[in-house]
């Protein structure tokens, strides 16, 4: 026989997809409850696979949630597991520490929520005795390792540790209860069920150490297939792990090479082929695509000028492909005809170079920065991330805008003169 459980983390229930809402209200409405649908898929997986337990390694919530709709939803899903005889072991992560709902909900007795002191819960199933070790933090910040607080491995049982940690650190994630994989594997447990980092990663060794990643991506920064981990512990205590996809919408970046295209229809045709190819690889119900046009083509000026028309065509192509949404179009095309046939420099190309030089001046950049900052103060807080989340992000945003402005002006001149 065997003991089986599903390991997930970082569900971030009802996390708002603000970037989509700003661009496409229809798409935002479709996947706005994607995190909830993904969690329902997790419960469905637990029941269909007849597992013995569900482990939630932190950040089930997204923050200071007050919605009773969320409370009712969670209660109903926990009851489904209770009725199926599936135990639930949950710790609080840094986002859970901010949630009001997490302190108010009452769950069935089959749900264990680990508190601020180390706790071990024993379960016997599949012919095995299994000890779940967990610890939650009440604060959204944990600058020191939690590992020394965990109990030692128990003899003659399978030991599973549940921890919310940034490990040695990960880009885009705050440091939280840092520790190393080597330290975890030396602790003596058989499996470490981790959470916090949204990118899936599994480490083999004396113990299986698994970061399942976020089960539902929330924006293009969380692109790729998202999953949970189905774990099987055999009689000999060997462990098998399997990633199972559960997301309702999968974000993908797709490059489309337009090198050699001279007609608009050719560019549209290549976009269609790219969308069909990526749709064939995406297992989620919806594919949300960010297209990036690359290569060298005389169409570069027309594409820059009529970006909105090409985006509209790309969105329509996505509809024809089926459940495929183009959320943004990025253009990184070069014009192969910057020199005239007589070898003289193209005057519009020269103008572009002059404009780029002007935008690189510090005085111009400071004026642009001041304009952006004034704009940000007029926007609601949830809409301010478009210019970056920190100083480095703002500088990168300015680089893109200043370079793109020169390209757009010259594109309109170039395409207009060709008509």
Six token digits for residue 126: 């599949």
pLDDT cut 70: percent of the chain above it: 76
What is the model's pLDDT at position 72? 87
Residue 18 has pLDDT above 90, yes or no: no
Residue 101: name the closest of 82, 78, 120, 122 by CA.
78
CA angle 220, 249, 39 (to 5 degrees): 115
Average pLDDT over residues 160-179: 81
Task: With both helix axes pointing from N to C terminus, report the angle between 362-377 and 391-417 in degrees, rounded to the nearest 10.
Answer: 110
Distances from the Cα of 111 to the Cα of 4, 84, 106, 249, angstroms: 17, 13, 9, 28
What is the model's pLDDT at position 61? 84
Average pLDDT over residues 269-288: 96
- Mean pLDDT, all residues of the chain: 84
What is the model's pLDDT at position 407? 57
Would you say 130 and 122 are in contact if contact means Cβ atoms under 8 Å apart?
A: yes
Would you say 101 and 65 are in contact if contact means Cβ atoms under 8 Å apart?
A: yes
Q: Which residue has the higher pLDDT, 21 or 121?
A: 121
Task: With both helix axes pointing from N to C terminus, report the angle between 264-281 and 307-321 in degrees, rounded to the nearest 10.
Answer: 40
User: What digits encode the pLDDT tens for the residues 332-378?
Assistant: 888 755 444 444 455 555 555 555 555 556 776 777 777 777 776 77
Query: What's the rounded Cα separation, in Å, for the pair 163 and 299?
Result: 53
Burial 304-341 (b: 16+ CB within 10 A, else e): bbbbeebbebbbebbeebeebbbbbbebebebeeeeee
Would you say 314 and 292 are in contact if contact means Cβ atoms under 8 Å apart?
A: no
Q: How confident is the model at residue 25 (pLDDT cuts 50, 70, 90)?
A: confident
Q: What is the dihedral of CA 10, 11, 17, 19, to 10 degrees?
A: 20
What is the model's pLDDT at position 243? 97
String of DSSP letters for 58-98: S-SB-SS---HHHHHHHHHHHHHHHHTT-EEEEE--TTGGG
Residue 392 has pLDDT above 80, yes or no: no
Q: Which residue has the higher pLDDT, 415 or 90?
A: 90
Residue 98 has pLDDT above 60, yes or no: no
Would you say 222 and 251 are in contact if contact means Cβ atoms under 8 Å apart?
A: yes
Average pLDDT over residues 86-95: 87
Report which listed range, 104-118, 258-272, 373-387, is most confident. 258-272
Residue 289: name the closest of 279, 302, 301, 304 by CA.
279
pLDDT cut 90: percent of the chain above it: 56
Burial 150-172 (b: 16+ CB within 10 A, else e): bbebbeebbbbbbbbbbbeebee
Q: In angstroms, how far apart are the furthest CA atoms of the chain? A: 85
Q: Which residue has the higher pLDDT, 274 or 413?
A: 274
Average pLDDT over residues 169-173: 62
String of DSSP letters for 331-346: EEEE-TT-B-TTSPBP
Give the total residue count for the chain.
419
What is the model's pLDDT at position 237? 92
> Going from the N-terminus, what domains does the chain have, and what CATH number goes with each?
2-245 (3.60.21.10), 249-417 (no CATH)
Query: What's the rounded Cα separation, in Å, for the pair 130 and 123?
Result: 5
What is the model's pLDDT at position 361? 67
H-run or E-run covering 309 = helix 307-321
Burial of 52: CB neighbours in 10 Å, binned 0-12, 13-18, 19+: buried
Q: Which residue has the higher pLDDT, 310 or 340?
A: 310
Residue whose structure tokens are 């989340």: 389
Query: What's the rounded Cα separation, in Å, for the pair 99 and 93?
Result: 10
Query: What's the rounded Cα separation, in Å, for the pair 302 and 350?
Result: 18
Q: How confident is the model at residue 261 (pLDDT cuts 50, 70, 90)?
A: very high
Distances from the Cα of 232 to the Cα of 6, 53, 168, angstroms: 9, 11, 27
What is the model's pLDDT at position 140? 66
Residue 16 has pLDDT above 80, yes or no: no
What is the model's pLDDT at position 63? 62
User: What digits encode the pLDDT tens for the residues 35-67?
Assistant: 899 999 999 999 999 999 999 999 898 766 557
What is the model's pLDDT at position 176? 77
Burial 266-295 (b: 16+ CB within 10 A, else e): ebbebbbebbeebbeebebebbbbbbebeb
């Amino acid at each position: 026989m065997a003991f089986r459980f599903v390991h997930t983390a970082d569900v971030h229930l009802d996390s708002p997809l603000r970037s989509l809402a700003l661009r496409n209200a229809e798409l935002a409405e479709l996947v706005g409850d994607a995190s909830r649908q993904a969690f329902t898929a997790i419960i469905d997986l637990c029941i269909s696979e007849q597992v013995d337990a569900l482990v939630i390694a932190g950040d089930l919530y997204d923050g200071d949630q007050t919605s009773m709709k969320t409370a009712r939803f969670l209660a109903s899903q926990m009851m489904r597991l209770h009725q199926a005889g599936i135990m639930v072991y949950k710790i609080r992560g840094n986002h859970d520490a901010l949630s009001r709902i997490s302190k108010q909900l009452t769950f069935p007795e089959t749900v264990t929520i680990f508190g601020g002191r180390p706790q071990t819960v024993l379960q016997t199933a599949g012919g095995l005795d299994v000890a779940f070790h967990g610890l939650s933090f009440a604060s959204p910040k944990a600058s020191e390792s939690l590992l020394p607080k965990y109990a030692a491995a128990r003899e003659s049982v399978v030991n599973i540790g549940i921890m919310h940690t940034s490990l040695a650190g990960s880009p885009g994630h705050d440091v939280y209860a840092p520790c190393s994989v080597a330290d975890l594997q030396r602790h003596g447990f058989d499996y470490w069920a981790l959470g916090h980092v949204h990118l899936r990663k599994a480490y083999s060794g004396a113990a299986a150490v698994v970061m399942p990643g976020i089960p539902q991506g929330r924006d293009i920064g969380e692109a790729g297939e998202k999953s949970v981990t189905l774990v099987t512990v055999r009689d000999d205590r060997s462990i098998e792990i399997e990633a199972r996809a559960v997301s309702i919408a999968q974000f993908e970046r797709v490059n489309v090479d337009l090198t050699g295209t001279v007609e608009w229809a050719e560019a549209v045709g290549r976009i269609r082929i790219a969308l069909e190819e990526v749709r064939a690889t995406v297992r989620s119900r919806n594919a949300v695509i960010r297209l990036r046009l690359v290569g060298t083509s005389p169409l570069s000026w027309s594409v820059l000028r009529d970006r909105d028309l090409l985006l509209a065509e790309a969105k329509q192509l996505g509809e024809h492909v089926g459940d495929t949404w183009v959320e943004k179009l990025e253009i990184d095309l070069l014009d192969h005809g910057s020199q005239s046939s007589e070898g003289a420099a193209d005057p519009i190309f020269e103008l572009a170079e002059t404009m780029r030089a002007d935008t690189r001046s510090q005085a111009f950049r400071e004026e642009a920065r001041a304009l952006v900052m004034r704009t940000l103060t007029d926007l609601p807080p949830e809409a301010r991330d478009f210019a970056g989340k920190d100083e480095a992000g703002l500088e990168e945003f300015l680089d893109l805008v200043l370079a793109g402005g020169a390209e757009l002006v010259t594109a309109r001149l170039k395409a207009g003169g060709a008509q």
